[in-house]
Chains A and B, each alone.
Chain A
């Protein structure tokens, strides 16, 4: 596994979670231990579970998988005293288009995540964890298996971890190529060997998750942020960001920028600064057209909406989301119809098929957009795209339907001229074959 970084770090970054990226053999336990590794775990071992959870609450850390749910609160929902075994499940089914941060955390610094998992284990009295890695990350499964084996060999997993008397077992589990299995309950079904479809909530996984036992489910980045939080205190982490939006996060900037890559930025970092300064601006000096702020499920922002700080609350205010940190920058040459088709092809392919609006809606939208791109667009298709998306919005079983509908609605609403441009000239009477 190369320790060479995929992109040059930016001096504007605040590197907390990614601070070991680029170190020689950063993925090994030795490097980890030499760089503050397991200090947090030893500290947590001396703390009460309540204190650990309080510290996480104080950090204002919010789930990095996309929904942004306060992590400490989630931890406090797990009934610590339940007689059932409690499980920790790590969501490494990183599939959101535009998002590629969890792979780096596992590739460069797997032991930081493992330490975070162990601290969670202390907090909720869990002794077993499952690392659910998307099937496409084949090499990472092997990589994580090696890291886990190393941790076992050196006493950082298994019985009596680091001599503290705490036991924990961690296993990798491969996904089979389904975006849907990033949804936490579908992930649990898949983990249990079932077809990956979402479960009804309630009960929430914290109460009845894997094998109907209390289960703590968090994203790779969320667990990776735990060791610095415990080590340096929740307040210190929180102070890096803005109120209620604690700390830093890895932002994956892709699309039309000079220096695409994964950068660790504090919450509340100005979006335009991220595009122009951190990621080096748009090639050829072209104008910004739109930004996907946090993965393809988030409604797009037009260029004039982008002068905002990147935190959960501000993004919500402008009708979008911070999502999973997958920021896609689109310049003025982008054809938004093609862009809409590209993402709808993804959602139609990935819809699990469980509920009607998502299953049929994504496919229908894909067909209309495909026809549009193929030159068969009709005037009435434009409002139809919006209406169909709205018929999906809020009516599907899980968030996948919303994730497909929201960007489509924003594209149709914000870029009608791109659709008009593609209408066949004078008459729109077209024979559909």
Chain B
């Protein structure tokens, strides 16, 4: 227990850990000391002077955000002098701040507006001319309105310290100081929008959200981002069945406030005009050419169920390819459907990390799977074969924050420069395949650490992975691992059993097989990268868009995205989180519902065998049957992330390949192709571990 000191704030006795900043000690005891520039986790500024407080026995007002508490300190945060000082500071701030709150995006959740209401500096004695500067657009995402800026430098710090991007700075001085982007009049950055969210006023606004709504006119739905595997919670602002913004200002979940461009703005694929909204059947048109005819759900389900039953009856060959984006419940139900109702073992999904070997090599161990939080607390981290800030922005952010706050040691073994290099104790450059040798060269340094977390990409798989674990053991320090996978539920797809166990065909084998009778593809686009050999196959595709795979479909069923359904997903670190439906899209159904309706159409025996297809019921079954998934329901129901421990391993080697799709900051498989915002950013995506084209994930 750290040493504590006793002090008095506003007459109440308070105890706080020695060295705590007064502003934090006060907040922890329910006393708010207002501030603009102070921001938890970022460097101290003491620039805004809003947090001035009266400390007895000191002649001047003291700055609450930089003052460490001391024994016997007597503090007044709401005395007349303090309130007058705050009012004075606000009056200064408002001299140049345009009072355009009625048209400002920030109106209603503006910190300056709140303060002005509280301290009553609404009426100004300022009768001079204000300085006007025209609004600037810095990128498709970021707009800047200089006169509204109060120069708290939060944006500069979150970009430089938080993101490690250094895209924002300050130019000029005095009253004409201005926040400026790194390319003079535009931004070249991650386009994460952290600067916009952190802005206490409406100086930085987002190209997606601006002038769309007022904050109080939206419903706010907390769910999980559907793009990469990191599993950030995002709070979607919804109005009239339309998602208008994403952020995580309530700091719920594993990511706190952090989101990348995909989590903050990459929801717009949900309303893309090419979104499928009706089931379709392939027909021959008058000219004998293939085309698609929109049909009713009952007609489409009848065709699917009829064909499934027919092929099953004659002992035909099924192939089922699941998704990296669908929920655990859907994945579980799909594999159960395939195995029990269709009687096939040919089940697979796009495997982007070698979880099989990973779990097998670590079987029977405890405390070896790192959680997202572990990355913030580890004493040392080793990143192997991944450009984390491009591919796993949250994990990269956790590591940056760890270095900033705990001085963690970071090591990178990559094929080229990565952002981690800036903070790295050592970086090793290797050719692909030389990763283990690179790691070996760090042995002495790593051995000297007190603990280590190894984060590795698809370059480490099979034998290399086993050798990596042997290497970890040989360091004789506690080592934890993260096996990187691509998408929001890649991990869950594997855990739920969307794998060709017991002699089933892999994804590649199904596509290459000439005598496949049925190919059922759920939320994936395997035909983008490889053709389907079987000409006779009856192809059923569940997807949001008319993908390359859907175009080969005989029946296409419009599916709901992750933002339109409930269920659970498992992130790259094996943490289970709950989705919450934010919107409904007319015509689309969740994949789970589609499975259920197909089962229903196939008859009561199938329904009985598969059980009820409500997410909660299916999750109950998962908790009972999937190793390591007996997680706390209240925890995830309240927005928490429950770690899973599926270390039962012992699955014999599987056919097929393991390869990351190589998505980067601005791509996300199929979804990103239909996101206007992700396609409009001008920055070149990171190339280090990028796939030739982001292909087959979903």
Contact = CB atoms under 8 A, between A and B. Distances in A.
A352 B173 contact: yes
Contacts of B176: 353
Interface string A346-377: 00111111111101111110011001000000
B89 interface: yes
B89 A356 contact: yes
12 contacts: A200-B66, A350-B174, A356-B47, A356-B48, A362-B175, A368-B128, A394-B61, A395-B49, A395-B61, A395-B85, A397-B46, A432-B127
A200 B169 CA distance: 19
Given A348-B174, A355-B48, A360 B95 contact: yes
A356 B174 contact: no
A84 to B, nearest CB: 18
Contact of A353 (B49, B66, B172): B172
B201 interface: no
B410 interface: no
Contact of B46 (A180, A200, A353): A200
A200 B85 contact: no
Contacts of A355: 46-49
B175 A395 contact: no
Interface string A378-393: 0000001000000100
Given A368-B128, A397-B49, 9 more contacts: A200-B46, A349-B174, A350-B173, A353-B172, A353-B174, A355-B46, A359-B151, A395-B52, A395-B85
A414 to B, nearest CB: 23
A361 B50 CA distance: 15
- Counting chain B CB atoms within 10 Å of each CB, the highest count among A348, A353, A396, A432 belongs to A353
Contacts of A359: 92, 151, 174-175, 177
- Counting chain A CB atoms within 10 Å of each CB, the highest count among B49, B60, B61, B174 belongs to B174
B175 A353 contact: yes
Given A364-B128, A397-B46, A178 B93 contact: no
Interface string B74-115: 000000000001001101110110000000000000000000
Contacts of B89: 356-357, 391, 395
B125 interface: yes
Nearest to B89: A356
A397 B66 CA distance: 12
B44 interface: yes
B170 interface: yes
Where chain A touches its partner, the secondary structure class is: helix
A195 interface: yes
B126 interface: yes
A371 B92 CA distance: 18
Contact of B128 (A361, A367, A395): A367
A391 B91 contact: yes
A200 B92 contact: no
Contacts of A391: 85, 88-89, 91-92
B173 A396 contact: no
B692 interface: no
A210 B173 CA distance: 22
B129 interface: yes
Interface in A386-433: 391, 394-397, 432
Of all A-B residue pairs in the complex, the 9 with the closest CB atoms, nearest first, are: A353-B177, A391-B88, A360-B92, A367-B128, A363-B175, A351-B174, A394-B60, A353-B174, A355-B47
Contacts of B61: 394-395
B175 A396 contact: no
A410 B28 CA distance: 42
A178 B173 contact: yes
Interface in A170-210: 178, 180, 195, 200
Interface in B515-538: none
- Counting chain B CB atoms within 10 Å of each CB, the highest count among A180, A357, A368 belongs to A357
A360 B172 CA distance: 14
Nearest to A384: B125
Contacts of B49: 355-357, 395-397
Contacts of A354: 47
B66 A357 contact: no
Contacts of B66: 200
Nearest to B125: A384
Contacts of A351: 173-175
A432 B50 CA distance: 31
Interface residues of A, number: 30
Nearest to A348: B174
Contacts of A180: 173
A352 B174 contact: yes
A354 B37 CA distance: 11
Given A353-B177, A397-B49, A360 B93 contact: yes
A76 to B, nearest CB: 25
- Counting chain B CB atoms within 10 Å of each CB, the highest count among A349, A360, A395 belongs to A360
Contacts of B85: 391, 395
Nearest to A370: B128
B388 interface: no
Nearest to B151: A353
A397 to B, nearest CB: 6
- Counting chain B CB atoms within 10 Å of each CB, the highest count among A178, A180, A195, A364 belongs to A364
B22 interface: no
Contact of A367 (B93, B129, B170): B129
Contacts of A352: 173-174, 177
A350 B173 CA distance: 8
Contacts of B150: 356
A415 to B, nearest CB: 22
Nearest to A360: B92
Nearest to A430: B127
Nearest to B94: A360
A250 to B, nearest CB: 30
Interface string A26-46: 000000000000000000000
B44 A357 contact: no
Given A351-B174, A354-B47, A395-B88, A360 B128 contact: no
Interface string A282-295: 00000000000000
B473 to A, nearest CB: 38
B91 to A, nearest CB: 7
Nearest to B170: A195
B174 A362 contact: yes
A389 B628 CA distance: 66
A359 B150 CA distance: 10
- Counting chain A CB atoms within 10 Å of each CB, the highest count among B44, B89, B93 belongs to B89
B170 A360 contact: no
A164 to B, nearest CB: 41
A139 B555 CA distance: 83
A120 to B, nearest CB: 30
B96 to A, nearest CB: 7
Given A395-B49, A397-B46, A364 B173 contact: no
A363 B91 contact: no
- Counting chain A CB atoms within 10 Å of each CB, the highest count among B92, B127, B169 belongs to B92
A359 B344 CA distance: 73
A206 to B, nearest CB: 19
Nearest to B126: A364
A432 B174 CA distance: 24
A200 B128 CA distance: 32
A350 B85 CA distance: 23
Interface in A45-63: none
Nearest to A391: B88
A351 B174 CA distance: 5
Nearest to A180: B173
A241 B289 CA distance: 107
B45 to A, nearest CB: 8
A246 B597 CA distance: 96
A98 to B, nearest CB: 21
A357 B91 CA distance: 9
Interface in A190-245: 195, 200
A178 B173 CA distance: 9
Interface in B172-222: 172-177
A274 B204 CA distance: 56
Contact of A397 (B47, B127, B172): B47
